[in-house]
């Protein structure tokens, strides 16, 4: 794969897109819908190649490739095609008596212009093309910087983009961090980055040089919590958590980072969780063809080294195969809420278990609230009233009650973080809004204009105007 980009080449690409955008080609909604249909058709035509690329880069099975990347992209595209005409329609507002004789004001949903999309390795198809769908729906041109850690997926993405769009409309650039910095050095009209908080800070700093608005989708600095209370359905909870932790070998921004389990049920829960891991992958997950691998050797070593640091508390798993880069789902128990392993995003199949007294649930939730806002939160309990109160008072990107991860699949709702887990939101109409600027235009009239707003403001005439104004404010 060619990665020898120069800054001058990237600058030229951006300038060509700016020039083409100014021609107004992207403005008609009908044209945008045509582009979305073309993109969807190309993805479906290359479905087998996508599955093969995901298998090569991440060890995904065909089922998981469709479940987590291809299928959600198709759903997202269909939702956007179905709703775009309605979303893009200008809003009409009554101008108000203070603006008389004007009676009409419109809010146009205008594209930002030329946008930069920096996508990650963990869901390289969905988190590249899903964002592109939002950018296209808003009427923008796009430069995509795809991940160098998933080279086969980047190659098929490049093929899809080049077959579907001219480079002055959409261009995909491959390469490492140096290429990403070359992209960030250009003046874009909007930047959308998915990745770590550390790199998110760098993206914001570079964007600030041109006052470029950004959307950041980050994993959360202190990880996503799952809270299992004493009244939870233990078997159902264990089944769902095991499924989720196995998915993509834990390399998911909304993945459960650590579980807080009520002491009263901790023993039973641990046994149920072990049993579910075995049921879903067999005695040795590293030998299962359905179990994904860690993205790089460095990621594998980091996971293995951290497991070794907690070797005396591993109650399940704790081994891997460095050749295949598969590391077993690993339960670490007990872990204190203040230990390093629960104060960082793990992005691997390690699963620390933090015991707490169910009677001290308020103290636990206060501790979680005091830390950086996570991208996701999951709670398992039969106390619906407490669950709703908790989920409506904690700050996080999104989450579930008695379920995991599938809030991501609900149509019409936003996905995005807050604070250290990001800013901005997308999916469906929220993606359209993220990539458009609401532009207000008042329609004035040339007849029946009042001199109310014009000077003089003093004397009897001024007092009359002021009295009239106060009646209609």
Q: What's the DSSP call for residue 454?
A: S
- Catalytic position from the list 226, 253, 303, 400: 253
How far apart are alpha carbons 176 and 3 in whole angstroms? 8
Is residue 99 annotated as a catalytic residue, yes or no? no
Residue 217 bears catalytic tag: yes
CB 436 within 8 A of CB 112: yes
Length of the chain: 473
22-29 own/partner pairs: CB under 8 Å, 24+ apart: 25/169, 26/111, 26/139, 26/140, 26/141, 26/169, 27/111, 27/139, 29/84, 29/85, 29/88
**Is the distance from CB of 266 to CB of 355 less than 8 angstroms?**
yes
Q: Token digits for 462? A: 């001024």
CA distance 32 to 20: 15
Element (H, E) at 230: none
| 64, 206, 217, 221: the active-site residue | 217
Evaluated on CA atoms 382, 388, 390, 391, the torsion sign reads positive
Inter-residue long-range contacts of 185-189, CB under 8 Å, 24+ positions, other chains counted: 185/7, 186/10, 186/11, 186/14, 186/116, 187/14, 187/212, 188/14, 188/113, 188/114, 188/115, 188/116, 188/143, 188/212, 189/112, 189/113, 189/114, 189/115, 189/140, 189/213
Chain center to CA of 215:
9
How many whole angstroms separate alpha carbon 130 and alpha carbon 215?
14
Q: Catalytic residue positions?
A: 217, 253
């Amino acid at each position: 794969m060619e990665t020898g980009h120069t800054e001058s080449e990237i600058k030229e690409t951006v300038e060509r897109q700016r020039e083409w955008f100014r021609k107004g080609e992207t403005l008609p909604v009908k044209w945008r819908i045509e582009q979305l249909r073309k993109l969807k058709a190309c993805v479906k035509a290359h479905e087998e190649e996508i599955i093969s690329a995901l298998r090569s880069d991440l060890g995904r099975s065909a089922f998981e490739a469709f479940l987590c990347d291809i299928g959600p992209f198709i759903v997202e595209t269909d939702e956007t095609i179905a709703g775009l005409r309605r979303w893009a329609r200008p809003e009409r507002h009554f101008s108000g008596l203070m603006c008389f004789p004007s009676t009409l004001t419109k809010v146009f949903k205008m594209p930002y212009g030329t946008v930069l999309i920096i996508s990650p390795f963990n869901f390289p198809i969905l988190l590249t093309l899903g964002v592109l769908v939002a950018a296209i729906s808003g009427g923008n041109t796009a430069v995509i910087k795809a991940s160098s850690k998933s080279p086969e997926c980047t190659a098929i993405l490049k093929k899809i983009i080049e077959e579907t769009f001219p480079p002055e409309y959409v261009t995909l650039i491959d390469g490492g961090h140096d290429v990403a910095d070359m992209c960030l050095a250009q003046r874009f009209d909007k930047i959308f980055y998915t990745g770590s908080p550390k790199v998110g800070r760098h993206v914001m700093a570079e964007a600030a040089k041109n006052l470029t608005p950004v959307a950041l989708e980050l994993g959360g600095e202190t990880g996503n919590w799952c809270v299992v209370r004493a009244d939870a359905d233990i078997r159902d909870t264990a089944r769902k958590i095991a499924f989720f932790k196995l998915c993509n070998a834990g390399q998911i921004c909304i993945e459960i980072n650590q579980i807080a389990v009520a002491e009263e049920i901790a023993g039973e829960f641990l046994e149920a969780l072990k049993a579910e891991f075995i049921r879903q992958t067999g005695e040795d997950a590293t030998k299962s063809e359905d179990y994904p691998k860690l993205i790089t050797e460095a990621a594998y070593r980091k996971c293995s080294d951290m497991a070794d640091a907690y070797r005396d508390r591993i109650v399940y798993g704790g081994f891997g195969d460095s050749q295949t880069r598969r590391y077993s789902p690993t339960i670490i128990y007990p872990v204190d809420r203040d230990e390093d392993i629960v104060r960082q995003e793990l992005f691997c199949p390690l699963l620390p278990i933090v015991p707490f007294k169910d009677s001290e649930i308020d103290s636990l939730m206060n501790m979680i609230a005091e830390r950086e806002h996570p991208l996701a939160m999951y709670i398992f309990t039969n106390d619906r009233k407490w669950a709703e109160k908790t989920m409506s008072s904690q700050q996080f990107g999104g989450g579930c009650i008695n379920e995991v991860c599938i809030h991501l699949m609900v149509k019409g709702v936003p996905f995005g973080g807050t604070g250290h887990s990001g800013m901005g939101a997308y999916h469906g109409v929220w993606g359209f809004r993220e990539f458009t600027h609401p532009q207000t235009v008042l329609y004035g009239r040339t007849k029946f204009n009042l001199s109310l707003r014009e000077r003089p403001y003093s004397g009897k005439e001024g007092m009359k105007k002021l009295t009239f104004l106060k009646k209609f404010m």
